[in-house]
Amino acid sequence: IAHHVLILFPTGDYISHQVRTWVKQYRASETSTIPAMERLIEWLPLHLARQQRTTVVDGDFRLDNLVFHPEKPEVLAVLDWELSTLGDPLADVAYSCLAHYLPSSFPVLRGFNDCDLTQLGIPAAEEYFRMYCLQMGLPPTENWNFYMAFSFFRVAAILQGVYKISVAGRGGLRL
């Protein structure tokens, strides 16, 4: 039986806590120095986004964790809640936009930057972000680049952990 724990953060501390946590995770699985990761580790804490709202965040919010109605453009369920907590909803929005920048051939987290989004009925990342802010009554953040940079850093840290485990001969993990 899986037990899930909801971790609560003081209002507004979610982003800084997440940055510290993922830097720590990355350092624990680091196998060599990667200059781009070092630059992000320096840049992220200096450019923290100011949290505008606290909501339940999924932590792994993406299209392939959604169950859609078979006939209407409607989400019936959100799956994969083991990373959920209270935090900044824009972190989930940015994480779900990663697929916009990754190719469909990306081995772990398949993207659709090489697909026709209009044909798929998927809005561009910028439009998706604007739609979310409008629906939630939030002014669009001026620090959207932070959220995207953090999302990419987080995925890179996860993949580094998977790599370290595979090098040690203990198999791999699912993202």
Query: How far is the C-alpha of 82 from the C-alpha of 154, rounded, in Å?
Result: 16
Nearest Cα residue to 138 out of 101, 95, 92, 100: 92
Q: What is the DSSP string of 28-41?
A: HH--S--HHHHHHH
94: tokens are: 């940015």
Q: Give the chain's domains with CATH numbers.
A: 14-167 (3.90.1200.10)
pTM: 0.83
Write out pLDDT tens, residues 78-88: 998 888 899 99
Q: What is the pLDDT along the chain (175 residues), one digit of tens a residue?
A: 444 555 555 556 899 999 999 999 999 999 999 999 999 999 999 999 988 889 999 888 888 888 999 999 899 999 988 888 999 999 999 999 999 999 988 877 888 899 999 998 889 999 999 999 999 888 878 889 999 999 999 999 999 999 999 888 765 555 5
Could you list the beta-strand ranges (E) of 44-171: 55-57, 66-68, 75-78, 85-87
CB atoms within 10 A of CB 137: 8
- 169 backbone φψ class: left, alpha, beta (φ>0; ψ -120 to 50): left
Nearest Cα residue to 174 out of 90, 81, 108, 124: 108
Write out pLDDT tens, residues 45-57: 999 998 888 999 9
